[in-house]
Amino acid sequence: DKPWTIPDLAAAKRNGAKLAMLTAYDAGFARTLDANGIDLVLVGDSLGMVMQGHGSTLPVTVDDIVYHTANVARGLSRALLVADLPFQADATPERALDAATRLLQAGAQMVKLEGAGHKLEVIRFLVEREIPVSAHLGLTPQSVLRFGGYKVQGREEAAAKKLREDALAVAEAGAQLLVLECVPSPLAAAITQAVPIPTIGIGAGPDCDGQVLVLHDFLGLDSGHRRPRFVKDFLTEGGSVAGAVKAYVAAVRDGSFPDAEHSYA
């Protein structure tokens, strides 16, 4: 298979291809994901929780993401590599440009940032400077203090309307991918229809253009926290890490993951 490029994302949306994404933090897992059909790999700031043992993503630094991105990049030959801008690295356009430049120089092909609002200006600033951007809306974990916990977003009509508007706005600002986290399936489906860029769901139902899970959740490791509804252990089913990746890719492609049991109505 030929390596994924940024323009392939728009082509995937046009063709209705389903995208399978997982997080990774090191070269060994990256290699196994890459060899078994994963399209997109994310070096998420979830590393603050699953690698470092923190209770949130807020302590993660740009140095942390750069380190893991460099390691993951060495393990990939085909999958597209996305890296998170950690908490406040995107607070201003200039800070975001500095951090994103380091992430691309470490091997990322795209950076992801959370939210809309003042982040729209950040997205435009990066995209104009040749930095591909993924947006991330819904349950944005860097908003945990304001949210008061990790809760499904967009349940009320006003919140759903705001989420739809934000999704259109991040695409308009130049984002080329949109992660939707913990939003009711019908809302994620409506947003996926409305935006011209691929949506990647996590706890966002089966109708997104792709799916993402945190590697450790996908392997059934105990996070030390209450297990969110959308988490599925593919290791038991797959029998090995490679088998789990193959089972996940197949389930994302044929639309059997997530089912109703792993989604919010």
| Residues assigned a catalytic role | 181
Q: Can you tell me which of 25, 37, 41, 44 binds Na ion, judged by CB under 5 A?
A: 44
Residue at 249: amino acid letter: V
Q: Cα–chain-centroid distance for residue 261?
A: 21
Q: Which is nearer to ligand KIV, 42 or 173 (CB)?
A: 42
Question: For residues 200 and 210, is the Cβ–Cβ distance under 8 A?
Answer: yes
Distance CA 190, CA 195 (A): 9
- The owner of tokens 């934000």 is 166
Q: Which two tokens stand for residue 2?
A: 């030929």
Interaction of residue 45 with ligand KIV, rule CB under 6 A: yes
- DSSP 3-state assignment of 125? helix
Task: Single out the residue of 120, 119, 101 nearest to residue 111, CA to CA.
Answer: 101
User: Residue 137 binds which one of Na ion, ligand KIV, none, with CB within 5 to 8 A depending on kind?
Assistant: none
Q: Which two tokens stand for residue 195?
A: 């935006």
Residue at 241: amino acid letter: V
Q: Which is nearer to ligand KIV, 85 or 156 (CB)?
A: 85
Residue at 201: amino acid letter: G
Q: How far is the CB of 141 from ligand KIV (least distance, A)?
A: 7
Q: Which is nearer to ligand KIV, 44 or 107 (CB)?
A: 44
User: Residue 195 binds which one of ligand KIV, Na ion, none, with CB within 5 to 8 A depending on kind?
Assistant: none
Query: Binding mask 13-42 vs ligand KIV (x if CB under 6 A, - otherwise)?
Result: ----------x------------------x
Closest residue (Cβ) to ligand KIV?
A: 44
Q: Which is nearer to ligand KIV, 203 or 238 (CB)?
A: 203
Question: For residues 64 and 86, is the Cβ–Cβ distance under 8 A?
Answer: yes
Distance CA 103, CA 126 (A): 13
Interaction of residue 45 with Na ion, rule CB under 5 A: yes
User: Residue 217 binds which one of ligand KIV, Na ion, none, with CB within 5 to 8 A depending on kind?
Assistant: none
Q: Who contacts 32 (Cβ-Cβ below 8 Å, separation ≥6)?
A: 241, 242, 245
Binding range to Na ion, per CB under 5 A, among 66-74, 80-88, 149-157, 253-261: 80-88
Q: Which is nearer to Na ion, 45 or 207 (CB)?
A: 45
Interaction of residue 90 with Na ion, rule CB under 5 A: no
Question: For residues 83 and 69, is the Cβ–Cβ distance under 8 A?
Answer: yes
Q: Which two tokens stand for residue 228?
A: 């969110």
Binding range to ligand KIV, per CB under 6 A, among 24-32, 43-51, 220-228, 243-251: 43-51
Q: Could you tell me the CA-to-CA distances from 66 to 61, 101, 162 in Å, in that order?
A: 9, 10, 33
Interaction of residue 214 with ligand KIV, rule CB under 6 A: yes
Q: How far is the CB of 84 from ligand KIV (least distance, A)?
A: 5
Q: How far is the CB of 157 from ligand KIV (least distance, A)?
A: 25
Distance CA 221, CA 53 (A): 13
Enumerate binding residues for ligand KIV (CB under 6 A): 23, 42, 44-46, 84, 136, 179, 181, 202, 212, 214
Residues in contact with Na ion by CB under 5 A are 44-45, 84
